[in-house]
């Protein structure tokens, strides 16, 4: 059994690495040497155009996809070739918030949140589920909606229920796949504050995959840019804002023009 000794890692220690990762699908090459290190407690955004591999990077971290070459480590342990049982252990610590909310439509909100809790501990008491569900719904600003079905909720609320489900087991790392796509400006800002709150209240480390430069600038300690099958620039948000790396500059300027309707 894979033992992830998460408690040995202090804020600022490297807890995730991608080391020269290559990944392709049949005749499509997505990554040719992905390198990235994530430190405990930081929020790192990965930005890049549509179809450049952002979701693939997150999926490799939770075992939904496997690299063709290279290594990925989580809390100091390689996760290449581990057993399905070990993946369950990794997913307790690293939680993926899907781009599509992937809620179970036939289950109410409580049961959606109970699902990962029952996987983590099949003997968990119903009263403990009630407590954790109430706490996490409160944290995402949706108290009291335990008995609603996903179809009764707005898109923004579904996103936040998805988030509550991603954090209900109290993971160390949250992977946010396009958390603000399709949301209005108010819900977009709400998600931005939630990403920061998860960091402040739960001490979570976050990797955020997004097209939304505003959110990336607001929440990130560092930002990484995907271009041509690798990360071409990873730097602090402050340095990214004034970068003159042409591909990144174009991406940023293009978005700003879009944002301001120019
Ligand atoms: N399971 C899969 N099988 C085959 N091809 C895949 C698979 N998953 C992803 N791809 C391909 O890999 C490339 C990268 O996909 P990915 O979903 O990571 O893009 P993305 O950067 O997240 O895009 P978006 O911004 O649109 O969400 C795409 O061309 C996609 O079609
Ligand atoms: Mg994607």
Q: Say yes or no: CB of residue 56 within 6 Å of ligand 1.
A: yes
Please name the helix (run of DSSP H) or strand (run of DSSP E) that holds residue 237, with its range, or none: helix 237-241
CA 115 to chain centre: 19
Q: Say yes or no: CB of residue 30 within 6 Å of ligand 1.
A: yes
Pocket probe for ligand 1: among 56, 216, 224, 229, the residue whose CB has the most ligand atoms within 8 Å is 56
pLDDT tens readout for residues 27-76: 999 999 999 999 999 999 999 888 899 999 999 999 999 999 999 999 99
Domain segments of the chain as ranges = 13-259
Q: Phi, psi (5° rounding) for residue 156?
A: -65, -40
Q: Say yes or no: CB of residue 27 within 6 Å of ligand 1.
A: no
DSSP class per residue in 102-164: ---TTS-HHHHHHHHHHHH-TT--HHHHHHHHHHHHHHTT-TT-TT--GGGS-HHHHHHHHHH
pLDDT score recorded for residue 262: 31
CATH homologous superfamily for the domain 13-259: P-loop containing nucleotide triphosphate hydrolases (3.40.50.300)
CA 145 – CA 248 distance, rounded (Å): 42
**Helix, strand, coil proportions of the chain in percent (round to 5)?**
40, 25, 35
CA 180 – CA 245 distance, rounded (Å): 26
Cβ atoms of 192 and 218 within 8 Å: the answer is: yes
pLDDT score recorded for residue 153: 93
pLDDT score recorded for residue 246: 87
- The residue among 122, 102, 100, 103 whose CA lies nearest residue 111 is 103
Q: Which residues of the chain have pLDDT under 70?
A: 255-262
Residue minimizing CA distance to atom 16 of ligand 1: 53
What residues have CB less than 8 Å from 115, skipping those under 6 apart? 104, 107, 165
Please name the helix (run of DSSP H) or strand (run of DSSP E) that holds residue 220, with its range, or none: none
Q: Sort strands 222-227 and 230-236 into parallel, antiparallel or unpaired.
A: antiparallel
CA 9 – CA 103 distance, rounded (Å): 32
- Give this prediction's pTM: 0.90
């Amino acid at each position: 059994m894979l033992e992830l000794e998460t408690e040995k890692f202090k804020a600022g220690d490297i807890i995730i690495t991608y080391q020269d990762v290559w990944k392709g699908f049949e005749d499509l090459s997505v990554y040719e040497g992905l390198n990235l290190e994530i430190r405990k407690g930081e929020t790192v955004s990965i930005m890049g155009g549509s179809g450049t591999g952002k979701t693939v990077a997150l999926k490799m971290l939770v075992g939904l996809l496997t690299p063709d070459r290279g290594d990925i480590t989580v809390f100091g342990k390689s996760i290449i070739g581990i057993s399905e049982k070990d993946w369950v252990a990794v997913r307790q610590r690293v939680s993926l918030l899907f781009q599509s909310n992937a809620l179970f439509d036939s289950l109410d909100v409580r049961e959606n949140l109970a699902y990962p809790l029952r996987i983590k501990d099949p003997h968990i008491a119903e009263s403990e589920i009630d407590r954790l569900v109430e706490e996490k719904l409160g944290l995402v600003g949706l108290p009291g909606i335990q008995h609603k079905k996903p179809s009764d909720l707005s898109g923004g609320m579904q996103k936040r229920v998805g988030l509550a489900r991603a954090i209900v087991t109290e993971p160390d790392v949250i992977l946010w796949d396009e958390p603000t796509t399709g949301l209005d400006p108010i819900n977009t800002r709400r998600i931005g504050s939630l990403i920061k709150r998860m960091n402040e209240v739960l001490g979570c480390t976050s990797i955020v995959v997004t097209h939304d430069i505003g959110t990336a600038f607001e929440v990130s300690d560092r930002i990484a840019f995907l271009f041509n099958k690798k990360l071409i620039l990873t730097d602090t948000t402050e340095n990214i804002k004034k970068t003159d790396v042409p591909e990144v500059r174009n991406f940023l300027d293009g978005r700003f023009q879009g944002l301001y309707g120019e």
